[in-house]
Amino acid sequence: MGSDDNHIEPANRAEAAIAMLSPLPFAAYPLPGIGGTIKATPGHFVVEEILPYAACGEGEHVYVTFRRAGWNTADAARIMQKHLGLAPSDVGWGGRKDKIAVVVQTLSFRCGVNHSLADVEKTLADLPFEILSIDRHRNKIKTGHVAANRFSVVVTNPEPDALPRALAVADRLKQTGVPNFYGPQRFGYGLQNIHRGFALFSAGKRARKDTFMVSVVQSALFNIWLKQRMQAGDYRRLLSGDIVKKTDTGGMFAVEDVAIEDPRFTTGEIVYTGPIYGFKMKPAMGAAGEKEAVLFRRFGLTPEDFKQYRSPGSRRVAILSLMDLTLAEVDDGLRLTFTLPSGAYATTVLREFTRPS
């Protein structure tokens, strides 16, 4: 992997990516998992979206916070939009949430200043959602406008000694953090989205706007990069040239002296980031940068390839902190509660406990 000798042909990119993704490593290995089942019922998987700001009480956009089960975000938004007589472009949300779950989420609807909140609530009253609050704001909610998501998940039918096993895993993860892998739902049933995504970059392929499928390619490459970093023994240490993020302010900088920055990494003041490849992505430098570049070259991609899709790229935090993780035995099994930042997947945390094959 240290050279381009094993360059992947364009026709083989998807299959190569799938092979390199499976299996993903565990931060808590070799501690035993608890087994069990996730999402035996929607009520066993509860997620509450936390916005970075509250509605200000004025403006043409109406923020509707509601609880739903058995609906995905897009379908719920569509039926609410149609009932309100609005166009699809009038609706905004911060992120997509699971269908097989109980979800508390806020959507924005551009109803105009003359559409009363009482009328909005009355119009939506017959839908199979529980309306929790309605207020006004000046801005539409856009993708990424989510500060965090709070999860409450029950793992059913775990191993008989699940609690002590889970406590041991939780203690380990509080020390190591959780690798911030994209969850399997990103890649579709049977990983079919990976084939669709890489097909966009085939030679002679006419560019068509498919932002999600481009992001699938970026997500797969990030997971491969992080897996390789873990396999190389570099998960819990900084490398020269790493692009790190300050956990308090969000500021980012390149590591010039590992010895100076390592104590801040150990205490959680900073965390290194990984590549979301694109035409404007800030690459890591030095040893860290070479690892990113080798992976990109191996797949025969360049930053220019992402320009036609207007995908600038970014940096993604590589390790998730779980300081608020709690565990409790319940009648149905074991309940885990934790908070994750926007863009992180609960499944990446849960897999550390259940150890799915």
All domains in the chain, ordered by first residue: 10-30+181-317 (3.30.2350.20), 53-145 (3.30.2350.20)
Ordered alpha helix ranges (H), the chain = 13-21, 73-83, 117-124, 162-176, 192-199, 211-231, 258-266, 286-298, 346-354
Whether residue 66 is predicted with pLDDT greater than 90 in this model: the reply is: yes
pLDDT band at 203 (very low <50, low <70, confident <90, very high): low
**Average pLDDT of the segment spanning 49-64:** 94
Rounded mean pLDDT of the chain? Answer: 93
Q: What is the pLDDT of residue 232?
A: 96
Catalytic residue of the set 98, 126, 135, 210: 98
* Stretch 90-99: mean pLDDT: 91
**What pLDDT score was predicted for residue 211?**
86
Beta-bridged to residue 295, according to DSSP, are none
pLDDT tens figures, 40-52: 998 999 999 999 9
Residue 2 has pLDDT above 60, yes or no: no
Does 332 participate in catalysis according to the annotation? no
Is the pLDDT at 206 greater than 70? The verdict is no
What is the three-class DSSP state of 42?
helix
Q: Is the pLDDT of residue 4 over 80?
A: no
Q: Is 338 helix (H, G, I), strand (E, B) or coil?
A: strand
- Model confidence at 10: pLDDT above 60: yes
DSSP code for 139? S
- The sign of the torsion formed by the CA atoms of 181, 184, 185, 187 equals positive
Is pLDDT at 144 greater than 90 in this prediction?
no
- pLDDT at position 6: 82
pLDDT interval class at 96 (50, 70, 90): confident
pLDDT bucket at 210, cuts 50 / 70 / 90:
confident
Lowest-confidence pick of 45-49, 95-99, 180-184, 338-342: 95-99
pTM across the whole model? 0.90
- pLDDT band at residue 205 under the 50/70/90 scheme: low
Section 293-300 average pLDDT: 95
Q: Is the pLDDT of residue 3 over 60?
A: no
Tell me what pLDDT residue 329 has.
95
Percent of the chain with pLDDT over 90: 86
Buried/exposed 109-147: b ≥16 CB within 10 Å, e otherwise: bbbeeebeeeebeeebeeeebeeeebbbbeebbeeebbe
**For the residues 76-89, what does the mean pLDDT come to?**
96
